[in-house]
Amino acid sequence: MNEYTYPIIFGVIVGTLGRIYMLRTDYRQYPTYLHGKIIHIALGFIAAGLGTVAIPSIMEEEFTAVTFLTLAASQFREVRNMERNTLAQLDGYELVPRGSTYIEGIAVAFESRNYLVIFTSFVSTFTYIVFNIYVAIVIALIALIISRKLMAGGKLKDIVDVEYVEPRFDGAGLYVDNIYIMNIGLPKRQEEVLKYGMGFILKPKNFNSRSTIANLGQRQAILHDVSTALGVYRDSGTPALVPLAKRDLDDGRVGVFVLPQEKNIEMALDIIGNVPTLENAIRMPTERNVNEKGEQ
């Protein structure tokens, strides 16, 4: 036992709790099973340990010891690879796949959460040593709230208006509003599609969101989320019954066609509104300064 024992224990506990806390938020994105959870809690524990011991090593003027944080960086990059590989392999067996953009987003989130744990443990231990445990508890809580805020990300309802539209057939062509989705020839199949199908129109609120929802990965994420939450009327060997999202080229609206098991309009609208806007899909053409035009 020395003067650093309690601060270190405190930092590790806060960091690990922080990881558990953040693990709860991604249930819908990634239904973690028990073993998956254990992996992430264990890695969170290691991250917490690394963040914590950085402070005593600085206090003891062992500055070179801080270089092991670089080890942490490569370690957690490996976490991202692990998540990406697992999800990409599983994606082949999903009835409605997540898509690479969504998977990459989840993998990045898993990596960055470990860094947030390091940050939380770091500041908690620091304040414990410099002030006392009460200040440390307050700071730890603030760090957790900041982590939570950073992890939340944007929702689709912030950038688009979602509206329910009954899908319809014009000859063999399936339409959602005026957006052409696909060609389904057989009358029997058409009946099924009309019985189970639901159509939604996503109307972008501004020019930036128009490019964001045009992203194929973002559209696939919407289809995946709706299908996960409401079930999907589909099986292997029925390629005609596939949820699709197509774009109106004139005004950038996106027509989403899904085949849920449960036809609940209110719930579906809610789910679509809560689909995360994928970091990799976000485009901000208006951020470009027009004055810079031609200067590149």
Partner 1 sequence: MVIEKYILAVVTTNPKKVPVASAVFNCDSKEEMEHIAANLEAILDGIAHGLSDELYVIVKH
Tokens encoding 251: 């005004």
Residue holding tokens 């938020």? Answer: 25
Positions 157 through 176 that interact with partner 1 (CB under 8 A): 171-172
Stretch that binds partner 1, among 93-101, 106-114, 182-190, 215-223 (CB under 8 A): 182-190
Nearer to partner 1, 21 or 169 (CB): 169
Beta sheet of 173-176, edge-to-edge order: 168-170, 173-176, 179-183
Q: How far is the CB of 170 from partner 1 (least distance, A)?
A: 11
Report d(CA 242, CA 248) in Å as an integer: 19
User: What does residue 115 show for φ and ψ, rounded to 5 degrees?
Assistant: -70, -35
Tokens encoding 60: 């003891």
Q: How far is the CB of 231 from partner 1 (least distance, A)?
A: 22
Among residues 18, 54, 66, 51, which one has the least CA distance to residue 119? 51
Q: Does 5 bind partner 1 (CB under 8 A)?
A: no
User: Three-class SS of residue 121?
Assistant: helix
Q: Does 216 bind partner 1 (CB under 8 A)?
A: no
Q: Which helix (DSSP H) or strand (DSSP E) does residue 79 occupy?
A: helix 68-91
Q: Does 186 bind partner 1 (CB under 8 A)?
A: yes
Which residues touch 146 (CB under 8 Å, ≥6 apart)? none
Q: Does 191 bind partner 1 (CB under 8 A)?
A: no
Positions 82 through 141 that interact with partner 1 (CB under 8 A): none
Stretch that binds partner 1, among 6-14, 20-28, 185-193, 215-223 (CB under 8 A): 185-193
Nearer to partner 1, 31 or 185 (CB): 185
Positions 222 through 261 that interact with partner 1 (CB under 8 A): 237, 239-240
CB atoms within 10 A of CB 84: 18
Angle among Cα 278, 30, 181 to the nearest 5 degrees reads 55
List, as one string, the DSSP characters of 236-295. TT-TTS--EEEE-TTT--EEEEE--SS--HHHHHHHHHTSBPPTTT---GGGS-GGGTT-
Q: Does 8 bind partner 1 (CB under 8 A)?
A: no
Q: Report residue 114 CA to chain centroid gap.
A: 15
Among residues 217, 211, 282, which one has the least CA distance to residue 253? 211
Residue holding tokens 């620091």? Answer: 126
Stretch that binds partner 1, among 84-92, 151-159, 183-191, 201-209 (CB under 8 A): 183-191
Nearer to partner 1, 9 or 186 (CB): 186
Q: Does 187 bind partner 1 (CB under 8 A)?
A: yes
Nearer to partner 1, 13 or 240 (CB): 240
* Among residues 184, 222, 230, 259, the one that binds partner 1 under rule CB under 8 A: 184
Nearer to partner 1, 239 or 285 (CB): 239
Q: How far is the CB of 188 from partner 1 (least distance, A)?
A: 6
Q: Does 194 bind partner 1 (CB under 8 A)?
A: no
Residue numbers at the binding site for partner 1 (CB under 8 A): 171-172, 182-189, 237, 239-240
